[in-house]
Amino acid sequence: MDGERLLLLDQRRLPDEERWVDATDPVVMEDCIRTLAVRGAPLLGVAAALCLGLLARAGATPRAFREAAGRLRAARPTAVNLMAAIDRLTAAAPGDDLSRVDGIAMDVFVDDVARCDAMAAHGAALIADGDGVVTHCNTGGLATVGVGTALGVIRRAHEEGRRVHVYVDETRPLLQGGRLTAWELRRLGIPHTLITDSMAALILRDGRAQRVFVGSDRVARNGDFANKVGTYALAVVAAHHHVPFHPVAPWTTVDLGCPDGAAIPIEQRDGDEVRGAAGSFGAVRWCPRETDAYNPSFDVTPASLVTSLVTDRGVFSADDLRRGALSALDG
C-alpha cells in the first residue's frame, strides 16, 4: 500500500509467478476475494478493510462506501474475519462521517500482526525439538499480514532453534498446501515434505508426526470450528492415532454469536474445481464434463476432537472449551 493504491500478491498464480494486482477498486477487490487471489481468513478481513479505508480517504460518498462495504462483506460467507473487520469500519462511520474509517482500517492491519505474534508465542511452546507436524491448507504470511496462524506457530518453533519437519497436505481441491504452504516453507528454510491429503493417516500411524496444527475460518462459541475442507478428516485420523490436534486462530475468528458448528455458513464452490485443476500451468479436467461434483470449501470439526485451541488470548484446552471458556472472555 502506498497511501493511494492497494496491491495484492496474486495467490492464484503462485508458486510459479509473483504477480501483484491493483485491488484499490472495491469491484476488483471483490473479484480477488471470490477467486482467491487474496484468501485466508485474517487476510480477507485486513484486505477488505484497507480497500474501504482507501475508498473513504479518496472522498467516496457515504452511499458508495456503504454499497462497497456490503458487496465485500458478502463476497465469501465462512471466514468471519471478513464480516468482523467490515463491521468494525462501518461502526466507526455513523451517519455520513467517514473521517475515522481510514485510521480504523490501519488498526485492523496492525492488530493482525500483533495477534499473529501472540499466537506464535503461545503455540510454539507445544512443539518439541525433533517433532514432525502435519498442517493443512495455508495459514502463514500469505493468509495474514503477520507470521500466520498455524504456520506462524511452526515458524516460531523453528526460529527458536527447534528442529521441526512439516508434512504439508496438498489440500484438494485448490491446493493451497502444495502451491502456497510449500512456497512459504521453502522461502523460510523450514524442512518439509508434501503429501496428498489421503496420506496424513499413514504419517500419523507411522509416528512421523507428533502434532497437527491447522487454521480456522470461524470458531463457534462451543469450540467447534470451520476450516478448509479436509480438516475434519485430519482431526478424526489424529484422534484415532492419539496425536494432539490444535486449531490456531486469532480472536477475530471467534464468533460468539454462533452457538456451534451447525450454525457456521459453509461456502459452496463451483464443481469445476473438483472436476479438475487450474493454475499457472493451465487447466486440466480429469473426469467427464457432466460428472456431478460436490464442493463445500470448508468443513466443521467438532470441539470434541480438539486437544487445545491456540489463540492470541491464550491456549484453551478441551476442558476449557467444554466449560464455555470462549464466551467467558466476551468483549
Which of 8, 21, 37, 41: binder of ligand MRU (CB under 6 A)? Answer: 41
Site for ligand MRU, residues 215 to 254, rule: CB under 6 A: 215-217, 227-228
195-225: burial string, b at 16+ Cβ within 10 Å, e else: bebeebbebbeeeebbbbbbbbbbbbbbbbb
User: Least separation, in Å, of the C-beta of 37 and ligand MRU?
Assistant: 11
d(CA 36, CA 173): 13
d(CA 31, CA 58): 21
Nearer to ligand MRU, 40 or 178 (CB): 40
Q: Among this protein's residues, is 217 annotated catalytic?
A: yes
Site string for ligand MRU, 140-159 (x = CB under 6 A): ---xx----x----------
Do 56 and 98 contact (CB within 8 A), yes or no? yes
Cβ burial, residue 329 (10 Å; 0-12/13-18/19+): middle
d(CA 213, CA 196): 16
Nearer to ligand MRU, 98 or 185 (CB): 185
Grid coordinates of 305:
476432537
How many residues lie near ligand MRU (CB under 6 A)?
18
Stretch that binds ligand MRU, among 1-9, 34-42, 55-63, 281-289 (CB under 6 A): 34-42
User: Least separation, in Å, of the C-beta of 217 and ligand MRU?
Assistant: 5
Which of 252, 297, 301, 311: binder of ligand MRU (CB under 6 A)? Answer: 297
| Footprint of ligand MRU (CB under 6 A) | 36, 39-42, 79, 137, 139, 143-144, 149, 176, 215-217, 227-228, 297
**Could you give the residue numbers annotated as active site?**
217
